Structure 1
Amino acid sequence: MKLPAYFFFLLLICSCKTSYDEPIISLEDYKVEEGFELQMVASEPLLVAPVAMDFDSKGRIWVAEMPGFMNNIDGTGEELPTGSIKILEDLDNDGRMDHVKIFLDSLVMPRALAHVYGGLLYAEPPYLRFVEIENDQPVNSIVVDSLYAADGNPEHQPNGLMMNVDNWIYNAKSHFRYQRKNGQWIKEPTTFRGQWGISHDDFGRLYYNDNSRQLLGDYMLPNRLIRNQYHIPTVGLGHMLTKDQRVYPLHAASVNRGYEKGILDKDSLLVNVTAACGPLVYRGGQFPSDYHQNVFVCAPEANLIKRNILSFNGDRISAEQAWQGKEFVASYDEGFRPVNLTNGPDGSMYIVDMHRGVIGHHAYLSPYLKEKSLEKQLDTIIDFGRILKVKKQGAETTSLRDFDKLSASELLALLKNKNGWIRDRAQHYLVFKNKTEVIADLEKLVLDPILPLAQIHALYTLQGLEALKLPTLIEVAKDSDPDVSAHALVLLEDFASAENVAVAKNLFIDVLKRKDVALDLYLSSSIGVWAEVSQEEFFPIVYQLSNTYKEHKIVQDALISGMSTTASDFQLAIESGGDLLQDDIKTLLAKSLERKKQQKPNAIFVRKSLSEDTRTKGAKLFRQICASCHGAGGEGMDGLAPPLLNSEYVANHMERLGLIILHGLKGPVTVNGEVYEYNHTMPGLASNEAISDKDITDLVSYITNAFSDVPSQLAPEKVKELRGKKPKEGMEYTEGELLEYVKQLQ
């Protein structure tokens, strides 16, 4: 295998020189919201094509680099070991990185990293690995998950590695979460989330997105709605928090489907996001108060960063763009490619700028964008990479003390810090270093209602130290802010036993008297666990919650989710003349029990990885190309793509299906009587030279076998013929054209 010449050049630089003069890079082409400053923190030649970053215990920046991604217009070289993880340092303390250490090199497309448990967790497909750190060198490397990511398109592989308030590590583009306990790594199913980047709010809810939907999120804490393996939640997970996908770029950036009607406005400016990624809930404590828990979103295709304002409404969350007509950060520089955002130890927001001319993967790159990229020479912007930060104007730079040198009491005090990054890291250090000497002080902190955020961190620190006590949780649940009480109800489940029935029932009655929707939602998700101990005492509370929240489908989902073992008993109770229940919960209960009877659990509990079905090339192609929009199970995605499951487009007329796969589809489409109309176009694969006629045959075979009752074939010879049957306008087919084609076949 021959390595590109620039690879050896980079190796020569990195091996011979680790300190650099700080290049002066103008930010005149960049605009940031009034009252903020945009600063360059690091740039080439220290780093090339960064995609993820994290801070270590000293506040140094660690970066994962992916120079193999689209280093030319054809996207060749992805399989080469050109990636690395670097440590960036500011030795002269002027705010600019001037020194680099290579921690790991010869990596193939590394995409995520996180400082956890005193070492580094990082993703290099297909592996998730953990290494200890000694004198800035990796030692004792282990494989945490050998099936972390499938081979294929790097745009659609797991990434993120974010430690949440609940002591679990979550990912985007994945349905697993991770934790290390007593020296052993634990992997367990969770909800499948997003595409690139993931974030959490102060409460612990998760936020993510995908290309054309700038902000998605869960209404509840992770895993509250999926504990019954045979229940498929109908609401509460993966919601579009805002239907407003508008972007306001400063210039006419080149985008993949720019020729399609509605993608660009009359001034050739992008109208809606097409490559949203890297969402961040700002929790730094430095920005003005009205910026707290705003969600910032990267739109690298338009060279900008959006600001969204969250609203919390009891059992749901919504968002709206902060402004119409402008963005938080925007640039005329078409090389500016923000792909990830991070809260910093100093309260600033850090921007990972991949700074690459072409960032659309070659598998999806349209001929239009190829031509535009070559015309503008965007394909030549490859040996760049930057880290920027946004700070409040005039904010003083705060130095970070080394977490490894802090005492238990000093770490405890940091749980009260206004900076969420500091609080998160302090909690994690108390847990993984097993600082049991502060348990008594944690119990005092958890009962202090003046500091609700500190209470939540203290709760999960105690949980991580295995030091939670029933009386403490009862008191917190009764007298704290509803957000804190909700966490106490969740953690109280570990004490579900016969001897605790009376005290739990009295607490739940008190909770119901508060008439708080959010609190009752978490009680709904827990009450089924307690019913396993005493159906007589807790089924009546199930009835009460279900009837009180007849119009709240998420409450009904939460109730069924908690009934992992008592669902059939609850159905018998209803049938034997229990209190009248509304239809939603009866329907959900019946569906759950039928799935259990047929042994069809939620797919997240049976898939070992996203690439589980590798029996055919078609399955692999579907996972790589189609599943990101249509869902791994062909169920479709709200606002993104219609379902394939039981669709007439899959069950009938294979030539029509072949035309769609080859040439794409635009405009509204009717599936099973329902009209789906999106503001984007499904691209075809005909111009992708890496996809052969046999590949299309395999793809059709897999799709029809997996999502219809009529497995069908489309011969490679027919595929070759269909390549020449282009739509009237030469771009993508419309539903009308396809219907006309079918008529001609009949």
Structure 2
Amino acid sequence: MTKDFSRAIFTGYLLVQMATFSQSAFSQIAQVTDLKDNENSQPEVRKMKGDRDGHVMQDVIPKNEIPPAPILSVEASLKAMQVADGFVVEPVVSEPNVFNPVAMAFDGNGRIWVAEMTRYMPNIYGDGENVPEGNIVMLEDQNNDGKVDKRTVLISDAILPRTISLVKGGILYADHTQLFFARIEQKKGEVIMVKRDVVDPEYALGGSLEHKPNTMLYNLDNWYYNAKSYKKYQVLPLAAELPNGATEIYRNDLWKMVKADTDYRGQWGVTHDDFGRLYHNGNSSPIQGEYLLPGTLRQNPGFWPKNQADRIGPANIYPARMNPGVNRGYLDGFLIEEGENRGKLKGFTAASGSLIYRGDNYPTRFYGMGLTPGPAANLISARYVSQGHGKMQGELIYPGHEWLASTDERFRPVNMYTAPDGTIYFLDMYHGILQHKEFLTTYLSEQIKARELDKNNNTMGRIYRVRWADKPRGEQPKMIGKNARELVPYLSHANGWWRDTARRLIIQSQPDKSIVTPIKAALNNAIKSDNFPVAANLLWTLHALNGLDLNTLKTALTDSNLQIAATAVAVSDAIPESEQNQLIVLLKNLISKDYDLALQAAAVSARLKVANAIELNLAVLEQYLDEPLVREVVVSGLGTRSKAFIEKLGQHPDAKLMYMLNNLGKKPADRTNRAQLSSLGQTLYDEGKTLYSGSAACFGCHGADGSGIDGLGPTFWQSEWVIDDKQKLAKVLLHGLSGPIWVKKSRWETSAVMPGLAARTDISDRDLAAIATYIRNAWGNTADTGSHVEPELIKEVRNATKNRQQPYKQEDF
């Protein structure tokens, strides 16, 4: 009997019995059916890896006052959901046809491909999670009634699969380490995997489960992007030239894949808007968006600015039930302490795969909204997204409550997708344990056991559809098997999923040049009708197919819709070199009309082949010097022409600009004050550097270069917490710090609490002095010239604060 067939029988039995069986009965079933690993009956008590020495883990809410968390049937779970007015939630698939879904993708016919992390946290210790039993499955709705009626298992030996995406000839998927290509074919009416290759053996190498790359989002620029990663990927024809900075890592008989550097993004999930901007989130922050197109600040080989991601609205959330079952729920400030909302989370602690909605089922006011699941709070939060001046911004759509919230503690929405039918699909992992073993605390383990959330996991999962109640779902696509010309009309579809899929299918089919003509005709129609989403999609399709020329672009470049014009500037590097001098004349005239057009002109300059492209950078500087992002985009947009630009610019009066230009080729992470320290200071600096990336593990939250990681830890660069006061820094190193805090005029909110090191027997006073000396004098910090942080100071602060039992907060200082 196969494990999938066994799981199906077992889960079907559970569903039949749910209405009458008690939790104890479920536990008995689990003990009978899960003898293989004996995962739900651990007799020994082991230390939890998430515990922090010195933390007093007391229940904020007495356990007998917390609502129970029984397993609910799909029907009961739907009743437990509170959805915003006008929307309705519908089941698409549940156990036994899906288990623990974490990521999915729709193919050209609307079939659902799902990564099932079926071994995630079988118990509070995570025993057996690396058993190769994760699945990649294809789910079909054969009678078009909106519900899945067929499950096909293509892969059943993946270890904790986390990523799935479509590509010509099959799928891309990733396990806990590697990225694979699975060749998929249909034979005798059945879909089968005929071959599997490793595409990137280092895709998710190293790190803990919660901090590994994931997603492979196909963006408008024809690159696949990931969360928790510095890498992007592209599929190209076998004979195609490699993009600048890219390396070929794999090829088959259909295509080759290249890999290149990109900006580091988020933790779980990446999404995009119609302009091609990327959005992601941190663990404790909702959706955040990048104002600049990906790669804008990475074009000058001697320039390394940090890409900016702006939070979309506040981090406030409004759960429908108590949420004491979170990892640091014992700390002050996590839960509301009194009133009708007592025990509910104040903000995100486990933000998951966000979505920019680009479908056609909802009223127009919801198009482009940002949604972020919060599985620890059993909800999905919605925000309007808007473009500010040099930043992305937004506001809560439903202040005081949520787009969707559940009273079921096992409800774990983890990822969201715009569907072919115009609605939104979201994945409910339906798992009692959310926190991974590497971070799970004794406090949370006791919460889990008190409500038997460690029972009957890994045998359930649901996918739901959220539809506008007054509008039926859209048609099912049938794109597979169509040639490129037949797919062109779908590039102009009102639903972004259709546009994205048609673009990918056309580009990866490697059509001949005749395809350019109908796409250009569609572009003219989109411009005439002022349809920016469609025009942008068509422009980027032509860009990937090398089908652009200046004559085609002129209408778009001068269009009154500035988003269309800005997209035209962004893709203008694809026109022939013989036309680029004319383009520069045209762009110089456009620069004075609008700030965003100026930014795109400065950025595209690096990708133009003609030497006088630096005239664009000079013109943008002259007109927009003090506007947001201008210095960074101009310097990045110099590409490899920095020397020529500096010679032409001369000594500019702007100190910030000259600092950037004078430090080209010097990575901020490499700037050090070590040589200026005392003799002991230099020794401590070296010891601190080793500790920072080693046993103290500071890099995990603050980055290897100290520049910070969104949603985890703030930057150390010129941070007042690091360089202003040695004693304050010593207190934080000893006892930790809990947000929110202000860092360099920015409010830093994160549910991640910096752990204190006071109780670490392997970390001495000298070690803490070494860490302090290192971070105060690395990355451009120059706090201890001629001196160092004294081990005696650490000892003095340790003795003075020995009774401290909670991490510090900003107000303590």
Does TM, scored on the shorter chain, surpass 0.5?
Answer: yes
Cα deviations by residue, 1:583-602 (Å, 9 ceiling, x for unpaired) = 433332223255599899xx
Distance 2:707 2:648 in 1: 33
Alignment of 1:246-325 (within 5 A): 246-253=316-323, 254-265=325-336, 266=338, 267-313=342-388, 315-325=390-400
Quote the offset at 1:423 in angstroms: 0.7
Greater Cα offset, 120-129 or 481-490: 481-490
Cα deviations by residue, 1:281-310 (Å, 9 ceiling, x for unpaired) = 000111010000000110111100011101
Distance 1:156 1:492 in 2: 37
Distance 2:727 2:754 in 1: 17
The 1:374–1:410 alpha-carbon spacing in structure 2 relative to 1, beyond 3 Å, is same
3-state DSSP class of the match of 1:395? coil
Task: Please say if 1:473 is aligned against 2:544.
Answer: no
Give the alignment partner of residue 522 of structure 1, picking from 582, 589, 600: 600
3-state DSSP class of the match of 1:53? strand
Quote the offset at 1:657 in angstroms: 8.7
What letter is aligned with 1:470? L
Alignment of 1:622-633 (within 5 A): 626-627=698-699, 629-633=701-705
- Indicate the RMSD between aligned Cα atoms, in angstroms: 4.0
| CA contact 1:178–1:186 (8 Å) conserved in 2 | yes
What letter is aligned with 1:225? L
Work out the percentage of aligned pairs sharing the same amino acid: 31
Greater Cα offset, 268-277 or 370-379: 370-379
Quote the offset at 1:121 in angstroms: 0.5
Aligned partner of 2:449 in structure 1 is 374
Give the alignment partner of residue 73 of structure 1, picking from 94, 115, 124: 124
What letter is aligned with 1:80? V
| CA contact 2:411–2:430 (8 Å) conserved in 1 | yes
Aligned partner of 1:441 in structure 2 is 518
3-state DSSP class of the match of 1:434? coil
What letter is aligned with 1:186? V
Aligned partner of 2:311 in structure 1 is 240
Distance 1:494 1:697 in 2: 58
What letter is aligned with 2:605? I
Give the alignment partner of residue 140 of structure 2, picking from 89, 92, 96: 89
Quote the offset at 1:130 in angstroms: 1.1
The 1:103–1:697 alpha-carbon spacing in structure 2 relative to 1, beyond 3 Å, is farther
What letter is aligned with 1:317? M
Aligned partner of 1:218 in structure 2 is 290
Quote the offset at 1:641 in angstroms: 2.6
Quote the offset at 1:374 in angstroms: 1.5
Alignment of 1:479-558 (within 5 A): 479=559, 481-495=561-575, 497=577, 499-513=578-592, 515-530=593-608, 533-535=610-612, 538-558=613-633
Cα deviations by residue, 1:662-687 (Å, 9 ceiling, x for unpaired) = 8643367798x989764645153889
Distance 1:101 1:195 in 2: 30
Give the alignment partner of residue 87 of structure 2, picking from 36, 42, 49: 36
What letter is aligned with 1:204? G
3-state DSSP class of the match of 2:376? helix
The count of aligned residue pairs is 698
Distance 2:706 2:502 in 1: 42
Give the alignment partner of residue 346 of structure 1, picking from 410, 421, 428: 421
Aligned partner of 1:389 in structure 2 is 465
The 1:388–1:627 alpha-carbon spacing in structure 2 relative to 1, beyond 3 Å, is farther
What letter is aligned with 1:390? V
The two structures have a TM-score, normalised by structure 1, of: 0.83
| CA contact 1:367–1:687 (8 Å) conserved in 2 | no
Quote the offset at 1:421 in angstroms: 0.2
The two structures have a TM-score, normalised by structure 2, of: 0.77
The 1:663–1:512 alpha-carbon spacing in structure 2 relative to 1, beyond 3 Å, is closer
3-state DSSP class of the match of 1:557? helix
The 1:621–1:295 alpha-carbon spacing in structure 2 relative to 1, beyond 3 Å, is farther
The 1:351–1:592 alpha-carbon spacing in structure 2 relative to 1, beyond 3 Å, is same
Quote the offset at 1:314 in angstroms: 5.0
Quote the offset at 1:539 in angstroms: 4.5
Give the alignment partner of residue 191 of structure 1, picking from 232, 242, 263: 263
What letter is aligned with 1:508? L
Quote the offset at 1:504 in angstroms: 1.8
Alignment of 1:146-157 (within 5 A): 146-157=201-212
Distance 2:359 2:692 in 1: 45
The 1:285–1:628 alpha-carbon spacing in structure 2 relative to 1, beyond 3 Å, is farther
What letter is aligned with 1:85? I
Aligned partner of 1:636 in structure 2 is 708
The 1:200–1:157 alpha-carbon spacing in structure 2 relative to 1, beyond 3 Å, is same
Aligned partner of 2:477 in structure 1 is 401
Greater Cα offset, 449-458 or 262-271: 449-458
Distance 1:725 1:380 in 2: 45
The 1:693–1:150 alpha-carbon spacing in structure 2 relative to 1, beyond 3 Å, is farther
Aligned partner of 1:611 in structure 2 is none
Task: Please say if 1:129 is aligned against 2:184.
Answer: no
Aligned partner of 1:743 in structure 2 is none
Cα deviations by residue, 1:86-107 (Å, 9 ceiling, x for unpaired) = 1122344432223211110111
Task: Please say if 1:12 is aligned against 2:34.
Answer: no
| CA contact 1:528–1:560 (8 Å) conserved in 2 | no
Quote the offset at 1:51 in angstroms: 0.6
Distance 2:195 2:767 in 1: 42
Could you say which structure has the greater relative contact order, defined with CA pairs below 8 angstroms and 6 or more residues apart? 2
The 1:476–1:646 alpha-carbon spacing in structure 2 relative to 1, beyond 3 Å, is closer
Quote the offset at 1:316 in angstroms: 2.5
Aligned partner of 2:200 in structure 1 is 145
Aligned partner of 1:328 in structure 2 is 403
What letter is aligned with 1:500? E
3-state DSSP class of the match of 2:88? strand
Greater Cα offset, 171-180 or 138-147: 138-147
Distance 1:384 1:237 in 2: 38
Aligned partner of 1:116 in structure 2 is 167
Cα deviations by residue, 1:69-93 (Å, 9 ceiling, x for unpaired) = 2221122222221211111223444
Greater Cα offset, 46-55 or 567-576: 567-576
Distance 1:257 1:727 in 2: 22
Distance 1:190 1:442 in 2: 29
Quote the offset at 1:192 in angstroms: 0.5
The 1:339–1:706 alpha-carbon spacing in structure 2 relative to 1, beyond 3 Å, is farther
Cα deviations by residue, 1:14-43 (Å, 9 ceiling, x for unpaired) = 699999999753211101111111011111
Quote the offset at 1:174 in angstroms: 0.7
The 1:166–1:643 alpha-carbon spacing in structure 2 relative to 1, beyond 3 Å, is closer
